[in-house]
Amino acid sequence: MAQRATSIHYDRTEPDGEALERAFADIRSRMEVRQEFPEAALAEARAAVDGPDLPDRDETAVPFITIDPPGSMDLDQAMHIERDGEGYRIRYAIADVPAFVTPGGALDAEVRLRGQTIYCPDTRVPLHPAEISEGAASLLPDTQRPAFVWDLRLTPEGVRDSAELYRAMVRSVRRYTYEEVQGLVDSGEAEETLLLLKEVGERRIRRESERGGASLPMPEQEVHVDEEGRYSLQLRPLRPSEDWNAQISLLTGIVAAEIMLEGRVGILRTMPPAQQRDVDRFRRQVRALGVEWPQEMAYGDFLRTLDRTDPKHLAIINDATALFRGAGYEAFDGAAPEQTEQAAIAAPYTHVTAPLRRLVDRFVLVVCEALTQGREVPGWVREALPTLPDLMDASGRLAKAVERACTDATEAAVLAHLVGEQFDAVVVDEAGKGGFQIQLTEPAVNAVAEGSAQLGDAVRVELVEAEIATQTVRFRIV
C-alpha cells in the first residue's frame, strides 16, 4: 500500500483550485508566519553577499557531492568519502551561514524570530533571504562556497576515531537526487563516495542497533504539485539511500554533541527514554494485532522488522509514536545538563547539519569549530545559547501546525468532489469519542472515521464531509 502513489490529483487552475491556494495563504496568515523580511534585514543580506567573511583555507580540490530532493536550492550539506587505511575518512561540508549573518544585526534578529524554514505545498517561507539560502551560502554545484568542514575518521566498524571542524572554501562537483543515488548504487555504476556512503551507512545502522537506538519507519505523507499545477497526495517510503545519508548527518550530530560535552558548552537535542509503561502498552498493542515480537528483542530492533505495506504493521507504526515523545533542547555553559541523551538515537546528539534551514545549527557550528581549533567560544554565542531552546520549540510547533493544516486542506481538496463515495482503508489508531484514525489505501489520506472497528482492520469507509476552507475531512466506517 505505502509503495503506491495516489491517482487522484487536484488542479489548481480549476475554479476550486484557487480556493485551495487561498486556504494555504489563510493558514500562513492565521498562524502569523513571518513571510516578508524587513528591509533592514534584506539590506544586510545583500551587503553580506557582496562581502562575506571568507575562510583562508582552500579545499576546492576535494570533489564534494550533494544529495537532495529534486529542485532543492537551499543545499546545506556536501560530502566526500574515501577509504582511510582499513577505515574511512568523511569530509562533510556544511553551509557557512555565519559568514553571511552579523551577530546582533537586523538579519540576525529576524532569523531568531523565524527559527526555521517553513514548507507549504505552494511555497516555502525561508529562514534566510533567498540571496543567502538559495545563492551565496548554498552549496550548489560548480561554485566555490565557504563551508564548515567536518573531517571525520572512522574505524572499519564505522566508529568515530577522530574529528575536527574547520572553515574552508569548497566546491561541489555533482548534485544527486536520492533516486539517482539509489539507482547508481543498485546498478554498481556509482562513484566511490556513493558506494562508500552505502557501506558506512549500513555500518552506522548496525551501530545504532547496538546502542539501542530506534527509527520510526513511518511512511511520509507528501503534498506534490507538478509542472501543470496539479496537487496530489502520496505516501512515500524512504529509500535506503535516504537512510544512508541520514546516518552521516546523525553521526555528525553525535560527534558534535560529544565535542560540546567535552568542552562543557553548547546545546543538545534531547529526548527522554520511553517509559516502561508505554513500552508495555505497545507490546500489548502488538500482541493484540497478532504480530510476533520476541521478548528479548529491543523495540528499536522490532521496529526495523516492520513492513510499511502491511496494514497491521502500519497500525503498529502509528502506535509506536507514543515511544518518541518529549524531544527538546538543552543549553549549557559549564556543567552538563541532567538530560544529555536523545533516547531514540541512544546517544547525546545535536542539530548541526542544516544551518540554512534551522537556527540552532549556526550556533552549534561556531561552538564546535572553536572547541576543535582550541579557541574560546565567542561571547555572542554564549549569550544566545540560553535563548535558543524556547526559540526552537516555538518555531517547531509553528512549522508542524502549518504543515498539518496545509495537508488537511489538500486532503479536503482532493476529496471534495467525492463526498458520498466509499474507499478502502486501514484502522491505524484510536481517535477518541468513538472515532478511529484511518489510512486510506488510495488516495494517500490519513483522517478520522466514525464507527466501530478494531486496530489493524481493513475497512470500507464513506466520505461524509470534505471542506477546504476549514480543512475538515470526515469519514464513516461502513
pTM: 0.90
pLDDT tens digits for 166-185?
999 999 999 999 999 999 99
Q: How many residues does the chain have?
A: 478
pLDDT of residue 8: 42
Backbone angles phi, psi at 438, to 5 degrees: -125, 155
Q: Which helix (H) or strand (E) holds 118?
A: strand 118-119
Average pLDDT in the 25-39 region? 97
Bigger pLDDT: 309 or 306?
306
Q: What is the dihedral of CA 266, 250, 115, 74, to 10 degrees?
A: 130
- pLDDT-above-70 percentage for the chain: 93
Average pLDDT in the 78-95 region? 98
Strand positions, DSSP E, 37-76: 64-67
pLDDT of residue 322: 82
Q: Is the pLDDT of residue 342 over 70?
A: yes
Q: The cell 508505554 sits on which residue?
A: 278
308: nearest Cα among 244, 219, 221: 219
Q: The cell 486542506 sits on which residue?
A: 409
Q: Is the pLDDT of residue 94 over 90?
A: yes
Phi-psi domain of 188 (left: phi exceeds 0; alpha: psi -120 through 50; beta: other): left
Cβ–Cβ < 8 Å for 270, 327: yes
pLDDT tens digits for 386-418?
999 999 999 999 999 999 999 889 889 888 889
CB crowding 286-324: b at 16 or more within 10 Å, else e: beebebebeeeebbbbbbeebebebbbbbbbbbbbeebb
If you average pLDDT over every residue of the chain, what do you get?
90
pLDDT of residue 104: 97
pLDDT of residue 429: 82
Q: Which helix (H) or strand (E) holds 439?
A: strand 435-440
- Report the amino acid identity of residue 56: D
pLDDT of residue 256: 98
pLDDT tens digits for 217-232?
776 666 767 777 677 7
State how far the Cα of 215 lies from the Cα of 255, in Å rounded to an integer. 19
Q: Is the pLDDT of residue 103 over 50?
A: yes
Cβ–Cβ < 8 Å for 462, 420: yes
CB crowding 87-104: b at 16 or more within 10 Å, else e: ebbbbbbbbbbbbbbeee
Sign (positive/negative) of CA torsion 382, 383, 386, 389? negative
pLDDT tens digits for 116-167?
999 998 899 999 999 999 999 999 999 999 999 999 999 999 999 999 999 9
- The verdict on whether omega for the bond into residue 146 sits within 30 degrees of 0, i.e. cis, is no
pLDDT of residue 20: 87
Q: Which of 36-45, 66-75, 439-448, 449-458 has the lowest mean pLDDT?
A: 439-448
171: nearest Cα among 306, 277, 286, 80: 80
Sign (positive/negative) of CA torsion 397, 322, 426, 434? negative
pLDDT of residue 458: 86
pLDDT of residue 45: 98
Cβ–Cβ < 8 Å for 435, 450: yes
3-state SS string for 391-437: HHHHHHHHHHHHHHHHHHHHHHHHHHHHCCCEEEEEEEEEEECCEEE
Average pLDDT in the 255-278 region? 95
pLDDT of residue 15: 39
Domain boundaries, the chain: 50-275+322-405
Cβ–Cβ < 8 Å for 136, 52: yes
Q: Is the pLDDT of residue 11 over 70?
A: no
Q: Which helix (H) or strand (E) holds 211?
A: helix 192-211
Collapse the DSSP code of 141 into the 3-class scheme (helix H, G, I; strand E, B; otherwise coil) and give the result: strand
